Amino acid sequence: MAFFATLGFAVPWILLGLLVLPVLWIILRAIPPAPIRRIFPAVVLLHGLLDKSHASDRTPWWLLLLRSFAMASVIIGMAGPILNRQENVQTRGDLLILLDGSWASGRDWSQKIEQIENELKDAERASRNVAFMLLTAPSTLEFRPVNMLKGRIASLKPRAHDPDWSQATAVLQAVISKKFDTIWFSDGLAHGGQKSRFLSDLQDRGEVSVYNSQAPLFTLSGVSLLEDSFAVDVHRLSDVGQADFTLLAEGVDPAGNPEVIARLEQAFKAGKNDVRVEISLPPELRNRITRFSIEAQRYAGARFILANELRRVEAAIFAGSGDSEVTELLKSSHYAKRALGQNADILSGQMADILLANPDIILLADVVTVEAAEDVEAWVKGGGTLLRFAGPRLAGAKRDIFLRDPLMPVALRHGGRRLDGAMSWGLPKEVAPFEEDSPFAGLEIPPDLRVYAQVLAQPGPELSGKVIASLQDGTPLVTRTQLGLGQIVLVHVTANAEWSNLPLTGLFPKLLQRLASRDNLSVDIQDLAGQTWTPIKTLDGFGLLSASQSLVGVKGSVLEEGKFNAKMPPGIYQSDARVISRNLALNSDALEAMEWPGDVVLKQSSIAENDLAGFFLSLAVLAMVIDILASLSISGRLRTSAALCLAILFVHPALPVGAESNFSPEIALTQEVVLGHILSGDKAVDQIANEGLYGLSKVIGERTSVEPGQPVGIFLESDELAFFPLIYWPVSASQPLPSRQAYEKLNIYLNTGGVILFDTRDGDLAGARGQGQVNRALQKLTQSLDIPRLETVPDNHVLTRSFYLLQDFPGRYRGSQLWVQASNMQSGTSEELPFRMLNDGVTPVLIGGNDWASAWALDDAGVANYPVGRGYAGERQREMAFRFGVNLIMHVLTGNYKSDQVHVPALLERLGK
């Protein structure tokens, strides 16, 4: 009886009408059904016969019951039954519907909207005035009748930042004298106690009831770069149980289409609310990542967007003169190239050109005088890393060169030193462990690393601050100096294995990587100030990135602060050439659940009200229809066949009305050649396909002895395919995947001589292996089909000569490849057989994208429906499209006959001999 507990009526007094039902019963019982007049000459023989029983002089009880039921349904339907009727709120007065609309609100937004609609219904019934307020974007409170607000519900959207409490309080202050009740749709977070403060403000005005979000909440606080991987920190709203989640690294594929690059299934252990997910990806994939997200969590908190932070570095390498004359392994640039090559793009060219490309790092191997030194200096100041290697030339350069050189971190002593010379006392030096504050800290030093020679720095007070790696005797191995935003690094040995075996060790690439990779996620934040940042793309409350509109740039210092609001949402910001991403970076501090005080009414999300009037009234209509049939059958007026038809009509409403499935008469299909096309479900596509096949049928009928009938749309699931010599399948991205049975049917069709022409209708713009939507739809659709190995149509394929001689197969587009079954090469070479030896010569599938149907489409008068190309050339193309169609049908219908025809001249020639 739980059902009836939730049932209510809008106009209950109409139910009194149910009392009339017994009267109706009695009246109906009294009236027998009307007789039928029948002319019957042998009536004289009936004279005097008496009826055996009086059963039919009254309406049968079940018919009475049916009629009473119909009447009852009408009465109940008129009374306005409502399932899950909500109790009317007793209080009157104005109502404020308050939404957090924060970054966490997107997780159950549609549910919230439903609840709001329910509340509005209640408010409408109680004729209360209602105002909306979105805490993330508070606007002036205007209490209005509900019917003026209904349109506004759709425009309520969560934002990707925290509620703007100060603004909200100001809005509340503006209507200081007003009393109203509040229904608060909360995101379940405390927002650092501000929520409680705002709540008490509201409670001064009236009663507050709350819908509190219960859905799980995950956030991503940041991405940190590790040695050769990176880690994403995931947090959740405190919860004790274990929770699984899937972290997605999303990005773009090389064609620029979005794709999921990595999918990591992880779990929060019971009691733990933070988890660090380490991701190790090849650099190619890693560079393409544009954001991280938690699968199926559609709100801003569960997103972490990246601008280009994981991008590959760009490097340029310059070697001193003479480098090109030595063998590869002796080149000073060789090792650096190999070491950087893994995760960097190496640029080559003149220094001036390279600087325009703004590389991340420039390597100078044993270069004394830097070309275009001023430009390089400016580039370093702008954030570049200049990495210099020592060498004989550097060691031999005059000392005063370096005194004036801003591109050298330390001044060098002339000549350097040789440690393993025949005349020297010392042994090759080992490298001292890296200091904690060195950028190389933590790297392991291989035990066999030896330095045989080095250049030495001029000692000075500031030298020790510049050394980031040294030998065991304390002499510097690597020195560094900051210049502007960039850095200049000098490695005191050569970039080849001449002075040390450093380039031969595994340490070398790691050193270079550390120097080259911009530790951007932390670095960037530090130096935003002083610039104006314009948002390019901003995050909305559902975690979707979209081009920002009408947002002005923000000051770097404000951006650095990271207090996001409506004017500065999280997103991707740009200043000059630099593009950075700014994220909510919500760590566990932000995830504090709101504890609602006891005097707040916590509402449970209830089931929506359901108006049952329509249901009852249609039930009544149905009962009346059954009553008509039943009365007819009782009085003998209902013919069995008619009853059968009606029964089928009722039992089989699945037959789609209106769609062009004129398919039922199989006989008609077998009487003539009928072309079929798969109904994709997309009305426009199906119509074009039908018109196209109609046009093609017409043309074939005019030009050949084949006279096809009206083309037919095929429902894959229900229709038999065997009647169609050719099925045209316009691939549409929206087409649902056929069922397994349908695939079985298709496979049987293909294996027993059927032919399917797949048309992606996109002119193959995305390329044969492209990732276009339609292409992917095609891939998905054909995955379960037995499709043989394919090749593009070869020049000697029978399709090029089965009726017309053709070179290509244009439709509305031209030039895209047509793929057919690959020929069986074992059976003979093309020299021996000038035709293709395939199984009966017919390819089971043809795949192309020229949108043939559009080119074929003709109306009844034979006028083309859709334009092809321009002017005469276009008409020529359409003609070629028709010729392709004719060839195709000929090929399909004649099998290897047409290819055998190619033999005829040769046979005749032989006979002549």
Taking the complex as a whole, the smallest distance from the CB of residue 34 to other proteins amounts, in Å, to 7
Q: Give me the DSSP letters along 698-737.
A: HHHHHHSS------EEE-TTTS--TT-SEEEEE--TTPPP
Of 43 and 825, which CB lies nearer to other proteins in the complex structure?
43
Taking each helix axis from N to C end, the angle separating 61-78 and 21-30, rounded to the nearest 10 degrees, works out to 150
Does 634 participate in binding other proteins (rule CB under 8 A)?
Answer: yes
Does 254 participate in binding other proteins (rule CB under 8 A)?
Answer: no
Binding mask 45-84 for other proteins (x = CB under 8 A): xxx-x-xxxxxxx---------------------------
Taking each helix axis from N to C end, the angle separating 683-703 and 871-894, rounded to the nearest 10 degrees, works out to 80
CB 431 within 8 A of CB 451: yes
By CB under 8 A, the residues from 577 to 596 that bind other proteins are none
Nearest to 107 by CA among 305, 274, 302: 302
Taking the complex as a whole, the smallest distance from the CB of residue 48 to other proteins amounts, in Å, to 9
Binding mask 590-629 for other proteins (x = CB under 8 A): ----------------------------------------
Does 642 participate in binding other proteins (rule CB under 8 A)?
Answer: no
CB 620 within 8 A of CB 612: no
CA separation for the pair 407, 426 (Å, rounded): 31
Which of 2, 5, 43, 654 is in the footprint of other proteins by CB under 8 A?
A: 43
Does 904 participate in binding other proteins (rule CB under 8 A)?
Answer: no
Taking the complex as a whole, the smallest distance from the CB of residue 643 to other proteins amounts, in Å, to 13
Which of 3, 13, 19, 37 is in the footprint of other proteins by CB under 8 A?
A: 37
Strands 144-145 and 181-186: unpaired
Which of 2, 19, 23, 44 is in the footprint of other proteins by CB under 8 A?
A: 44
C-alpha angle 420-423-427 in degrees, rounded to nearest 5: 30
CA separation for the pair 107, 711 (Å, rounded): 48
Task: Tell me, rounded to whole angstroms, the distance of Cα 502 from its chain centroid.
Answer: 47
Of 32 and 905, which CB lies nearer to other proteins in the complex structure?
32
Does 353 participate in binding other proteins (rule CB under 8 A)?
Answer: no
Taking the complex as a whole, the smallest distance from the CB of residue 37 to other proteins amounts, in Å, to 5
Of 438 and 635, which CB lies nearer to other proteins in the complex structure?
635
Structure tokens at 164: 């703007």
Q: List residues bridging with 532 in a β-sheet.
A: 555
Task: Tell me, rounded to whole angstroms, the distance of Cα 872 from its chain centroid.
Answer: 42
Which of 635, 718, 817, 865 is in the footprint of other proteins by CB under 8 A?
A: 635
Which of 1, 19, 23, 36 is in the footprint of other proteins by CB under 8 A?
A: 36
Does 5 participate in binding other proteins (rule CB under 8 A)?
Answer: no
Does 640 participate in binding other proteins (rule CB under 8 A)?
Answer: no
CB 99 within 8 A of CB 112: yes
Determine the interface stretch with other proteins among 28-36, 549-557, 675-683, 806-814 (rule: CB under 8 A): 28-36
Nearest to 237 by CA among 601, 595, 603, 606: 595
Of 173 and 640, which CB lies nearer to other proteins in the complex structure?
640
Spatial neighbors of 876 by CB under 8 A, at least 6 apart, are: 869
Which of 17, 33, 392, 763 is in the footprint of other proteins by CB under 8 A?
A: 33
Structure tokens at 243: 């929770």
Taking the complex as a whole, the smallest distance from the CB of residue 684 to other proteins amounts, in Å, to 49
Of 56 and 546, which CB lies nearer to other proteins in the complex structure?
56
Count the site residues for other proteins by CB under 8 A: 28
In three-state form (DSSP H/G/I as H, E/B as E, the rest C), the secondary structure along 766-814 is: CCCCCCCHHHHHHHHHHCCCCCCCEEECCCCCHHHCCCCCCCCCCCCCC
**Three-state SS for 82?**
strand
Does 423 participate in binding other proteins (rule CB under 8 A)?
Answer: no
Of 563 and 637, which CB lies nearer to other proteins in the complex structure?
637
Does 636 participate in binding other proteins (rule CB under 8 A)?
Answer: yes
Taking the complex as a whole, the smallest distance from the CB of residue 899 to other proteins amounts, in Å, to 57
Q: Which CA distances in Å does 451 have to 428, 436, 470, 487, 741?
A: 5, 22, 11, 24, 72
Give the footprint of other proteins on this chain (CB under 8 A).
32-47, 49, 51-57, 634-637
